[in-house]
Structure 1
Amino acid sequence: MGLVEGYGTSSDSDSDTVENQSTCIRGANLQGDLYERTKASIHKRKQHLTKSELKRRRKIRKGSGPWGSWSSSDDEGLENNENLVGQQDTFIDVIDEDDRDSDAVQTEEISNFYGKLEKDYQGRGYLHPPNDIDVDLHKERMSFRCYLPKNVIRKYAGHSSGTTALKFLPKTGHLFLSGGNDHTIKLWDFYHERECLRDFQGHTKPIKALRFADDCLSFLSSSFDRNVKIWDTETGKVKTRLHLKSTPADVESRPTNPHEFIVGLSNSKILHYDDRVFEKQGLVQTYDHHLSSILALKYFPDGSKFISSSEDKTVRIWENQINVPIKQISDTAQHSMPFLNVHPSHNYFCAQSMDNRIYSFSLKPKYKRHFKKIFKGHSSAGYGIGLSFSGDGRYISSGDSKSRLFTWDWNTSRMLNSLKIPGNKPITQVDWHPQETSKVICSGAAGKIYVCD
Structure 2
Amino acid sequence: MDALQQYNSDSDESNSDTTYQEDKGSNMYLDFFGLKPESHTYFQKRISSCEQDMGRSTSVNIGHIPVIVEIPGTSFWEETQLSDIQILEQTDSIGRKPKPVTCNLEKNEERLRPYDKCLSLNARNKAKTDKDSHASKHTDIARKLYYVHPIVSPHLHGKKSSCVVPSRLEWTHPGHAGACNRLQWNIAAYSHLLVSVSMDTSVKVWNTWSQLDACVRHLRIHDKAVKDVHWNSEGRQLLTASYDRTAAITDVETGTAVNRFHHPGFVTCARFHPVEGRHFVTGTNNVIMRWDVRTPSQPVQTYKYKDNIGQIGDIVFNMEGSVMFSCSDLVCRDSADRNLMAFEVKSGVTLSNQIYQERYTLTRLRVSPMDHQLLAQSQGNYIALFSMDRPYKMNKHRRFEGHMVQGYSVGFDLSCDGSLVYSGSSDGNIHSYNYKSGRRCKEITTGLDVVMDVACHPVLPSTLAACAWDGTVQVWT
Residue 347 and residue 442 in structure 1: after superposition, are their counterparts in 2 closer, same or farther (change >3 A)? same
Which secondary structure does the structure 2 equivalent of 1:296 belong to? strand
TM-score normalised to structure 2 length: 0.66
The residue number in structure 1 matching 2:463 is 439
Residue 117 and residue 187 in structure 1: after superposition, are their counterparts in 2 closer, same or farther (change >3 A)? same
**Which residue, 136, 150, 155 being the options, matches 2:167?**
150
1:116-195 map, 5 Å: 117-119=142-144, 126-130=145-149, 132-133=150-151, 135-139=153-157, 143-172=160-189, 173-193=191-211, 195=214
Return the alpha-carbon distance in structure 2 between the equivalents of residues 143 and 387 of structure 1.
Answer: 22
1:352 aligns with 2:377: yes
The residue number in structure 2 matching 1:225 is 244
**Which residue, 259, 266, 285 being the options, matches 1:240?**
259
Q: Which amino acid aligns with 2:457?
A: H
The residue number in structure 2 matching 1:328 is 353
Return the alpha-carbon distance in structure 1 between the equivalents of residues 208 and 256 of structure 2.
Answer: 22
Q: Which amino acid aligns with 1:257?
A: E
TM-score normalised to structure 1 length: 0.69
Return the alpha-carbon distance in structure 1 between the equivalents of residues 253 and 286 of structure 2.
Answer: 34
Residue 134 and residue 379 in structure 1: after superposition, are their counterparts in 2 closer, same or farther (change >3 A)? closer
Deviation at residue 165 of structure 1 after TM alignment: 1.8
1:422 aligns with 2:422: no
Return the alpha-carbon distance in structure 2 between the equivalents of residues 272 and 309 of structure 1.
Answer: 16
Q: Which amino acid aligns with 1:302?
A: E
Deviation at residue 370 of structure 1 after TM alignment: 1.2
Moved over 4 A (4+): none
The residue number in structure 1 matching 2:415 is 390
Return the alpha-carbon distance in structure 2 between the equivalents of residues 148 and 264 of structure 1.
Answer: 33
Maintained 8 Å contact 1:318/1:324? yes
Which secondary structure does the structure 2 equivalent of 1:150 belong to? coil
Return the alpha-carbon distance in structure 2 between the equivalents of residues 128 and 367 of structure 1.
Answer: 41
Deviation at residue 190 of structure 1 after TM alignment: 2.9
Residue 291 and residue 412 in structure 1: after superposition, are their counterparts in 2 closer, same or farther (change >3 A)? same
Return the alpha-carbon distance in structure 1 between the equivalents of residues 447 and 147 of structure 2.
Answer: 33
Residue 435 and residue 114 in structure 1: after superposition, are their counterparts in 2 closer, same or farther (change >3 A)? farther
Maintained 8 Å contact 1:114/1:197? no
1:278-293 map, 5 Å: 281-289=297-305, 290-293=308-311
Deviation at residue 192 of structure 1 after TM alignment: 2.6
The residue number in structure 2 matching 1:342 is 367
Which secondary structure does the structure 2 equivalent of 1:222 belong to? strand
1:17-416 map, 5 Å: 114-115=139-140, 117-119=142-144, 126-130=145-149, 132-133=150-151, 135-139=153-157, 143-172=160-189, 173-193=191-211, 195-265=214-284, 267-277=285-295, 281-289=297-305, 290-312=308-330, 313=336, 314-416=339-441
Deviation at residue 436 of structure 1 after TM alignment: 1.0
Give a deviation string over 1:151-190, Cα, whole Å, max 9, x none: 3232023102221221110224210101112211111113
Q: Which runs of 5+ in 2 are unaligned?
A: 1-136, 331-335
Question: Which has more radius of gyration?
Answer: 2
Q: Which amino acid aligns with 1:205?
A: K
Maintained 8 Å contact 1:214/1:254? no
Which secondary structure does the structure 1 equivalent of 2:353 belong to? strand
Return the alpha-carbon distance in structure 2 between the equivalents of residues 331 and 238 of structure 1.
Answer: 38
The residue number in structure 2 matching 1:45 is none
Q: Which amino acid aligns with 1:160?
A: A
Residue 410 and residue 113 in structure 1: after superposition, are their counterparts in 2 closer, same or farther (change >3 A)? farther
Residue 322 and residue 134 in structure 1: after superposition, are their counterparts in 2 closer, same or farther (change >3 A)? closer
Which secondary structure does the structure 2 equivalent of 1:136 belong to? helix
Return the alpha-carbon distance in structure 2 between the equivalents of residues 435 and 128 of structure 1.
Answer: 15
Residue 296 and residue 134 in structure 1: after superposition, are their counterparts in 2 closer, same or farther (change >3 A)? closer
The residue number in structure 2 matching 1:79 is none
The residue number in structure 1 matching 2:42 is none
Q: Which amino acid aligns with 2:319?
A: P
Residue 244 and residue 177 in structure 1: after superposition, are their counterparts in 2 closer, same or farther (change >3 A)? same
CA RMSD of aligned residues (A): 2.0
Return the alpha-carbon distance in structure 2 between the equivalents of residues 116 and 244 of structure 1.
Answer: 31
Maintained 8 Å contact 1:162/1:446? yes
